[in-house]
Every structure is written in C-alpha cells, then in structure tokens.
Amino acid sequence: MPDTGIGARVLRKEDARFLTGRGNYTDDINRPNQTYAYILRSPHAHAKIKKLGIAKAAKAPGVVAVFTGADLASDKVNGLPCGWLVHNKDGTPMVEPSHPALVTDRVRHVGDQVAVVIAESRAQARDAAELIEVGYEELPAVVSIADALKPGAPLVWDQAAANTCYDWELGDKAANDAAFAKAAKVAKVDLVNNRLIPNAIEPRAAIGEYDATSGHYTLYTTSQNPHVIRLLMGAFVLGIPEHKLRVVAPDVGGGFGSKIYHYAEEAIVTWAARKVGRPIKWTAERSESFMSDCHGRDHVTHAELALDGNGKFLALKVLTKANLGAYLSTFAPCIPTYLYATLLAGNYATPTIYCSVRAVFTNTVPVDAYRGAGRPEATYVVERLVDEAARISGIDRAEIRRRNYIPRDKFPYQTPVALQYDIGDYHTTLDKVLKAGDYAGFEKRREEAKKRGRLRGLGIASYIEACGIAPSAVVGSLGARAGLYESAAVRVHPTGSVTVYTGSHSHGQGHETTFAQLVCSTLGVSLDNVDIVHGDTDKIPFGMGTYGSRSLAVGGSAMFNAMQKVIAKGKKIAAHLLEAAEADIEFANGEFRVAGTDKKKALAEVSLAAYVPHNYPAGLEPGLEEQAFYDPLNFTYPAGTYLSEVEIDPDTGALSVESFTAADDFGRIINPMIVEGQVHGGIAQGIGQALLEGCVYDGQGQLLTGSYLDYCMPRADNLPSFKVDTNVTACTHNPLGVKGCGEAGAIGAPACIMSAILDALRPLGVASLDMPATAEKIWRAVERAKTPKAA
Amino acid sequence: MTAVTVSMTVNGKPVTATVEARTLLVQLLRESLLLTGTHVGCDTSQCGACVVDVDGRSLKSCTLLAVQAQGAQVTTIEGLAKDGKLHPMQEAFRENHGLQCGFCTPGMVMSALDLVKHNADPSEREVREWLEGNICRCTGYHNIVKSILAGAAAMRGK
Amino acid sequence: MYDFNYHRPKSLADAAKLLGGSEEAKLVAGGMTLIPTLKQRLARPSDLVDLGGIGELKGIRREGNALVIGAMTPHAEVASSPEVKKAIPALAALAEGIGDPQVRNQGTIGGSIANADPAADYPAAVVGLGATVITNKRKIAADDFFKGLFETALQAGEIVTAVSFPIPEKAAYAKFPNPASRYAIVGVLVAKTGGGARVAVTGAGPSVFRLKAAEEALAKSWSAAALGGLKVPQTGLNSDIHASAEYRAHLVGVMAKRAVQAAG
C-alpha cells in the first residue's frame, strides 16, 4: 500500500479536529463543579519568608481554600524528585536539594510557588491571592554562572558550597594533554550558549480530580509523558498507589522538552482536589510560563581543538560551566553531562576528547532539556571550533570538515566519549548540501551583495545527535533513575480494524498519522482502519513518553514488535483455517497465505476467527491483541550538515537570513511531509537561538524578558523558506531502521547561522560574537572593527 | 461584581450571556459558549492564538472585552467549515501540513482569512509580514506560508 | 483584571460626563494598551468609558490643506485610506507599520497619542508633521502635546476627538523596530513643509522629540547628504536590554537619513 504506508506523504489524521477548533487541550476540558487555582509566586529571586498570612484571602469572595507549604508538609507531601544522579570527579554524588511544590521558609527564584488559592472563578482566585500577606526578608541573589562561582558569593543552597551541584568530567585528561602538546596549531573559542525559554504556545495547565467513593485521582495535564508524571507524582510526591491515579495528557500544544517534567502545579491540584472535594483547574498565564516553565541551555565554555599540520584534528578539550537554576528539575543533571559531553566527537574522528562540566545553582528558574538538550550546545562548541580551525589553518570550511569526518567505512565507530555510532555517511550528506545550497556560487552572491552595501556571509555546520533515547542499562549505569524503553499494545478487532495503544505521546509530531502508516505497511490494513491511542494512563501500557527524538525509533519499534507477535499468532490461526503447516504460512499485504499457493485468509478473517473461535487451533488463546516493550540496543545517530546565507546592513547591524539549506540523515523515513515539518520547526528554533532569543535577568534576579514584548520569538518575517533534503543510512539496530528527526534543526541551525554571521564579518576582522547575534551586537562588532586598534 | 448582559451573533447564532464587565471576548467564547477552538497563548496580545473575526475584521479576542463586542457578528474557527466541508483555507492548511500541535492554528487561519480579504493574491513576503501578530513555535512558518498562499489561490478559484 | 463599571456613551458630551463622574474613571479607545494593562492588574479604574459607540469620533476628512483624522479611527483605516495615501503617504505607511494587523484593526490614533508610549509610532507623525490635537475642550499644537513618558497635555476630563495634520510637501517615516514587541526602537519622521523641515524622533527618548540640528540642516538642503555630519548626543536617550543609548543615538542618524531618502 504505497499510498498510505511507509514512505508516503500521508496527510495528517489529526488535522481535521485541530483545523475546526475541535482539539481537546487541557484548558478546553471542564469538569463538573470545578474550581480554579491561582498560584501566588515569589516576586523576589531570593528571600526568607518571615510571615505568611492567609486569613484575609481565605475569606475573600468565592474562595474555597487557600493552602501553603505548611499544609503540604503536614500531609507529608514530598518534594518533586530529580530523575538523574550525576557524580563528581571524585566519585561523590552531586548535591541534591529538596524541591518543594510550595515553599515553606525560603523562595529561590522569581516565580517560586508560595501559596495556592482555590476559588469559584479564575478572577476570584487571583483577586484573593492579592490578599495573602507575605513577609519577605530579601537575601542577596546569584543569577549568572560567573556570579555563582565568585568567591564569597551568596549561597542558593547552604549545602552546596560555591553553589556547585557537581563538578564532572569525561575522557582521559592525561592523554588529551599529551595530544595537545604535539599540536601544530590550536584553535580556541570562548562561547556563551544563551539561555532560552521554550515557549510552547499552549501554556501549561492541569486539572486535578478526586473520587471519594473509589479513592481514584485523575490528573489532566499538559505533559509529554503521562506515565512518567504518574510514577513521579504518585510514587514519590503524593504517595498515591498507581492503580488509584490516572494521568491524562490530551491534545498538547507543543512541548519542546518543557512539558517532560513533573511540575509543582500538577501535584498541587491533584492533592488539593481531595482536600476540597472538587475538581481544580489551573492554567498558566504566559507571564507565569516565563517564570515557571523550565528554561534551556545557559552554558559558558572555553574549548580548544588541537590540529596537525594538515588540519587534522588531534584532540579536543572542553571546559564548560552550566547553570541549573534554583532547583534540580526532572532530568536537569544529565543535560549538560551525558547529553552534552558524549556528543563532543561530533561527526569527526578526533582521537582524544576531554570535557569537564561544573554545574551551578543560581536564583533563576530551573534549567532542563529544551529541544536538542545538550546536543545543540555540543554542536555549537564543536562547529565554532572547526570554523576557527579552518581559519587558522587556511583550509576551506567544507574541506576541513570533509578531511576530519569519520569515514563511512569506519562504522560502527567508537568515539572517545563513550558513544558508539552505528552508521553514518557524512561525506555524501555534505556533498548533497553543498550542491543544494550552491556552495560553489557563493562568492558571486557575496560580491553582488557588496554592491548593494550589504555584507553577505555563508554558514556551514555539521551536527550529530544521540536520539532514540535510550538503552535502559546504559542510562542506568550513568545515573538515570528510570528505564527508557517504550511500550505498545496492538489490538486487532474482530472485523480486522486496529487500535494501537502507545506509550509515546504526540504534541505536534503527528503520531496518529505516522504510526498508522507503520501499521498500514506492517499489517496491510487501510489507514481508515487504524487508530492510535496515546496520552491516557488508564488506556495505554506503561510508557516513557516523547522527547529526545525517541518516539518512532523506540515507540515505533515497540509497535513493530507487537505487530510481529500479532502476525505470529495470526499464522497459527491461519494455518489451522487453511489446513496447512504454520511454517508454510506467509504474511504480506494483510493476507496470510500458504506459500506458493493461492490459499489465503485475510487479516479480518483471521481476527474474526480469533474472537469467534469455533473452528480454532487447540490450546491457542482466543483474541488477537499483543503487547511489546522495546528497550533500544543503542542510541540512534541522526546527522546532517546545514548551509545558510545571511546579509547584514552594516549601518544598523540588522540581519536577514537569505537562505537555509539542510541535508539530514534520519535513517528510514515513514512520512517525508511530517519529517520536513519537524526540520522546519527545529531550524526556526535554532535561528531563534542564534539571532533573537535570549533570557535576560537583571542583577537582582528579576526576569527582564518576561513576556513576548521582550523575549523575541521568531516570527514569519524573520525567516526564509527552507530547503530540506535527506540522505539515508538506515539505523542498524532497530527493526525500522529509523533514527528520529525532532531535534535536528534546533541542533544544527545555531552553529550554522553563527558561522554565516562570522563569515560575513570576518573581512572586517571580527573573530567572535555571541548568540543571540542582535543588531546592536553586530553593529558594535562592525564599529569596533572599524576603530583602529591603539598601538 | 458588575454584571453586564451581552448579546452578539456568534457563527451565525444569536447568543446572550450575563458576565462580569471584566470578561474578555475570548473568555466568553471559551467559558460561556464552550467554543474552545479559540485559544489563549499569551497575556500581552502578541501570539494571535485568539484571533477571531469581529464584524469583518480580525481581532485578538484576548484584548477585547466581551461587552465591546456588543451586537457584533463574530466568527470563530468553529464557524468556518460548512456542512462538514472544510473552508478552502482550512483545507489548504491540511494539504500543506500547515499545522503541527494545532494550538496556534485557529488564530493563523482566522488571520489568513483577513489577509485574503484585503489581498486576494498575496506574495510570500506579504504573507510573512501579515503574520506579525501570530506566533507559531512548531512549523517554522514554512508550511503555514505555503498553506496561506495555496488557500488564497483556492479562494480565487485557482 | 480588577472589576469595573463599563459604560458605552453614544455622544462625546455623555462620555465627558461619565469621565468626570469618577476620579478613577478611564477612557478606553481601541484598548490595545489599556486592556493588556488591566489584564496585568497594573491599573484599577472604577469605571471604563468606551468611546467605541461615538460615531462622531470616527473618520478621515480633508479640511483645506489639512487632513483631519477622527480620534477613534483605527490604524488600518488610516493605512488603507485613499485620501491619506494621496495627501500624506508617509502617514499611511506609518500606520501600516504599527503593531500587527489585529492591532491595526482595533487600535486608534486617539488612543495611541493619549497614551503617549515613548516607542509608539503616531507621536512621531503628530510632532513631525506639526499636527494639531483637537479635544473636546481645545486645540493643542503638537509641540505642546507630548510632555514626557506616558504624559501629555491632556487635562482631567479632556478627550481627544481628532488630529489635524497639515499636508507637507514631502514626508517619510523610517523605523527600526524592536524585534520582539515591534514597537520603535527608533522611528524618525521627516517632513518638508513650506516653513522648512521638521524631524521628529520616537522610541529613542522618554518621549517623542524634535531633532533641531537635523531640521536646520534639512532646511538648508533637503537631502540625506545634508545630515552627513549629524551627531546625535546619547544623553537622555533610553537604554534597555534591546538597545543602548549609544546605539539608539546612532540609529536616529541612520533612520533620519533613510527617511529623507525615502521622502525623495
């Protein structure tokens, strides 16, 4: 069925409801007799709470209840857990402070949760919150990494000396030093990876509900992984047995990592629903999102790349400091370590790599995974260094990459930073993008732009990512407190239609379509006869959800394996019905056939026999429904190379992105239309990071970019149309040969755009610039370059 | 509480509701009329997820009091498809993969329709500039722009 | 939003009466600034007097050598008006660049200038074109209208009813927008009039201001080259996360030249 199966540009099944306003997002849900919660948040970055008076608020019109951290404590509600333990260089564990859903004695960032008001309406809850009397004693705050590490800096946590959560390393330092000693040249960069605010357009929301007769809780929430929330909240925070807790993540309006984590508001509304005996809805206003959704990135790095006389890479050394914010969010510790340092080999055969990461606490919103998570940071470091290496050795930027790529005949390739890449073909991908982006014709365009008074630059960046997250045993040995397999249940109904229950979660990725195509191809049923169910812990098997470009590689593989079980059972039934040996039955195009004959039974005939087992194999269970859990054997390694061109107005520093060309290797592709869409979106976020987006706090920890008036989201007029192309090497270790495509654009684009800007400015002598490369920064760089250096 | 009674026509049907004066049009639509296709994505009037048509002009329903729309003809995303058939602009979004998570989509479609009203044959640049008030975090706008160009062409009968 | 009483008068006189009826009453025109301000609970009016029901405040008309725009005329109407495009194309272009299409559909000239946002576009037009602000009580010359950050000459109970723009020989507006809010980081309107040249700058300072040095240079010679030696002092200019005072000062010069070039 090529029209709807693997490889087809099938239009999305989910679009009909979204296009007609019939989506079902959390805030669209209303429960009978529901109340509304408003969270009172700290206006200070760091303060002691000397007094917390709720009496007036409790008496305000429409108020049902007001709760504080003391109420949670007296009910023995625990803090929000962290899901990953990282160890220091000396083997001791990281500092792991508590993370209360509502604070009791001290606030640690602007937006920290102080109290919750539950009322008959949103407006009344907010009105009443203004009547809560909080006596704050302000404490000095630390905001930036540099501030946090200054001798004598105020401490975010008394137990974290020098505000350090951990000081971690990867790689053989002695071997690295030795390699640097032999270098002909060393490229050096000092970089800031700017802090970002994820900004899924649907603000977070949660509805808690409790049924006293059964003791069942239900939480509707904007989550990428409802079972993870059920596990963390049920088992660790509220102590609710999992069979008494249902978590539903209905339609979710974008995640980008920010909706992976278990947030305080989820625990608060679930716990409080029982206290007040009514459902409670909480919906973030955007300004709350800015100060309560986890942020991303925020690194400061010094890195060096040792080269031999031919521009071959000998060794890479990376020294990074990472800001984790005030508390450890769910996956925070692993982002600047295991999802970052392990990717520093990039696409290159660099023989030795050493990375040290010091992670600090600051009085800012917690920082965790945001689209790409560690991998954009690694790519940025590596690719900025490669450009610098090209510059100091006088080698063309494409050529130095080609010269250092891991050759296609060296796979599987063991990197010096723990990962083993299973397959790749970076040279072909490079050739494709150079052609598609007309690399050869660039200088002409630069000259033409110059005539118009514009500085034109070409950017190039390769990237690799570790996706299909992740082999449980591997991540377990690295400190993960969870497995990262995925589940699927495939139910063939009596008349042959199919429902698949997946542990993956779709919040824009189009799983209802892509997964259905996989079913079409594998079971030979028509697209209309397949439904994909996700997002409800009462329906789906225990699954780990969607992030890290894992849904197809891990969730799809689970689905594929479950379908193989269906087929295996179907063969037994068909063999019986066709009076043939099971070994002689073949399954293809939805039909079980006796090999070499025209004797056959359609899937629907077999499924009917399975549910009406009058004439049925002895000893075989009725029904046709199978489940599989798939634990990947390795990460997958999507890789690609991007080209971009920018033009700069030297009078103002204003920049326009003139073109962007991507060539990616995602392995086998199920729906090219959806894959292209994922790449487009990732590129836009990457361009956003490079040019527009940057979270800014003032020295007191006040968030200056707390709304779209100040935090610059990429808009349609900031971007060109993109050219996207693919090169396919099939993943070797999952049954589908797929790798994942969700994060690629956001990983490769920032480095590519910065490469273009520096290329445009290099003729003026500008050697370095930090993201976001705003007009003023560019203008200043141009002005500085114009000013003759003092002798 | 200062209650006001507002009456307007929404998607062709007359509606009347008694709400607080401080109720926004989007709250009336979502909470009183349960037309939850119109979304709220920000609180500073930038994101455009709440765009609806009021008396023939696209407006941000999060920045208009319900009572300011007294007597108005309001069309929301729910009012576009007729007899189970998508409006050509909706259809263009479907055919060109102009949406991913779907949250910004209703505002995008409503805004696009206002563009086409003014400019039946917009250029790519004009579409991009028109979308200044609509933020999408998923698509990178590439396919939204493509959708709107295709939708406009379909509406021109091409 | 805090609770308030809502009024929608049918006449200017009723509006004035309602506005005078309470010290905490506030006018709402398009509401593009006020409604978000109320949502953020940054203002707490007792009464909201909506000018949307007063027909006499809407519309664009030519009066002799002036273009008179009713206070409640939305930006989109100014931008698309053939009358405006013909008489003062710079004004239509400026209106076309305000906010986004939805803001232009609802936001009004009266609301914009009464609010006196330092980064709004219209103040540059009012001052740069030497307009007259007409209220229910008097006429105020542009140079006397804007008094500072969100401050105007409007007195309690005074309502802007129209703005009268004298038609210049040439004019143009050049804007360097804030990439996030799309307000002006710097916007410069230049106008060549019978009496000389006017140059008004918005976005750069706490309030719109005239650039006298540029006006003198342009009065002598209407050309971008005449502004070649223009040095804009950064003293007193705004400085924030989006642009330093130094950068704004530089942009004022660049935008002024570009505006002159565009005006022809």
Whole-angstrom distance, CA of residue A500 vs CA of residue A764: 59
- Which DSSP state fits A104? S
Of C2, C244, C254, the CB nearest to A652: C254
Whole-angstrom distance, CA of residue A456 vs CA of residue A251: 43
User: Would you state the pLDDT for residue A789?
Assistant: 63
Q: What does the block give as tokens for A401?
A: 């990459």
Q: What average pLDDT is seen over chain A?
A: 97
Select from C76, C6, C56, C62 the least CA-distant residue to C160.
C56
Q: Residues 77..106 of C with a Cβ closer than 8 Å to B: which?
A: 80, 99-103, 105-106
Q: Residues 7..26 of A with a Cβ closer than 8 Å to B: which?
A: 11-12, 14-23, 25
With CB atoms and an 8 Å threshold, state whether C181 touches A711: no
What is the full per-residue pLDDT of chain C (264 aa) written as tens digits?
999 999 999 999 999 999 998 889 999 999 999 999 999 999 999 999 999 999 999 999 999 999 999 999 999 999 999 999 999 999 999 999 999 999 999 999 999 999 999 999 999 999 999 999 999 999 999 999 999 999 999 999 999 999 999 999 999 999 999 999 999 999 999 999 987 999 999 999 999 999 999 999 999 999 999 999 899 999 999 999 999 999 999 999 999 999 999 999
Of B37, B42, B132, the CB nearest to A20: B37
A654 neighbourhood in chain C, CB within 8 Å: 176
Q: What is the residue whose two structure tokens read 């894959």?
A: A675
Mean pLDDT on A300-305: 98
User: Would you state the pLDDT for residue A76?
Assistant: 97
Query: A509 and A546 in contact (C-beta within 8 Å)?
Result: yes
Q: In the predicted model, is pLDDT for residue B158 greater than 90?
A: no
Query: Strands A245-248, A216-221: parallel, antiparallel or unpaired by DSSP?
Result: parallel
Q: What are phi and psi of A288, to 5 degrees?
A: -70, -35
B60 neighbourhood in chain C, CB within 8 Å: 102-103, 106
Q: In the predicted model, is pLDDT for residue B1 greater than 80?
A: no
pLDDT in tens, A541-564: 999 999 999 999 999 999 999 999
Mean pLDDT on A290-306: 98
Which strand (E) or helix (H) includes residue A577? Answer: helix A557-577
Whole-angstrom distance, CA of residue A367 vs CA of residue A379: 19
- Which DSSP state fits A4? T
Q: What does the block give as tokens for A547?
A: 């992030």
> Measured between CB atoms, does B16 come within 8 Å of chain C?
no
Q: In the predicted model, is pLDDT for residue A190 greater than 90?
A: yes
**Secondary structure of A349-392 in the HEC alphabet?**
CCCEEEEEEEEECCCCCCECCCCCCCHHHHHHHHHHHHHHHHHH
Q: How close does chain A come to B96, measured CA to CA in Å?
A: 8
Reduce the DSSP state of residue C201 to 3 states and report it.
strand
How many beta-carbon pairs below 8 A join chains A and C?
A: 40
User: Would you state the pLDDT for residue A142?
Assistant: 98
> Measured between CB atoms, does C2 come within 8 Å of chain B?
yes
Q: Which residues of A381-402 are buried (b: 16+ CB within 10 A; e: fewer)?
A: bbbbbbbbbbbebebebbebbb
C-beta neighbour count of C156 within 10 angstroms:
8
pLDDT in tens, A66-86: 999 999 999 999 999 999 999
Q: How close does chain A come to B71, measured CA to CA in Å?
A: 23
Q: How close does chain C come to A473, measured CA to CA in Å?
A: 45
C-alpha A51 chain-centroid distance: 39
pLDDT in tens, A713-759: 999 999 999 999 999 999 999 999 999 999 999 999 999 999 999 99
Whole-angstrom distance, CA of residue A59 vs CA of residue A538: 38
A790: buried, middle or exposed (CB in 10 Å: 19+, 13-18, 0-12)? exposed
A709 neighbourhood in chain C, CB within 8 Å: 180-181
C176 neighbourhood in chain A, CB within 8 Å: 652, 654, 775
pLDDT in tens, C212-257: 999 999 999 999 999 998 999 999 999 999 999 999 999 999 999 9
Which strand (E) or helix (H) includes residue C140? Answer: strand C139-141
Q: What average pLDDT is seen over chain B?
A: 97
pLDDT cut 90: percent of chain A above it: 98
Interface test with A, best of C250, C258, C261 (most A CBs within 10 A): C250
A25 neighbourhood in chain B, CB within 8 Å: 36, 39, 103
pLDDT in tens, A621-646: 999 999 999 999 999 999 999 999 99
User: Would you state the pLDDT for residue A787?
Assistant: 79
Q: In the predicted model, is pLDDT for residue A1 greater than 60?
A: no
A123 neighbourhood in chain C, CB within 8 Å: 1, 3
Q: How confident is the model at residue B9 (pLDDT cuts 50, 70, 90)?
A: very high
Of C2, C247, C254, the CB nearest to A776: C247
Q: How confident is the model at residue A791 (pLDDT cuts 50, 70, 90)?
A: very low
With CB atoms and an 8 Å threshold, state whether A775 touches C250: no
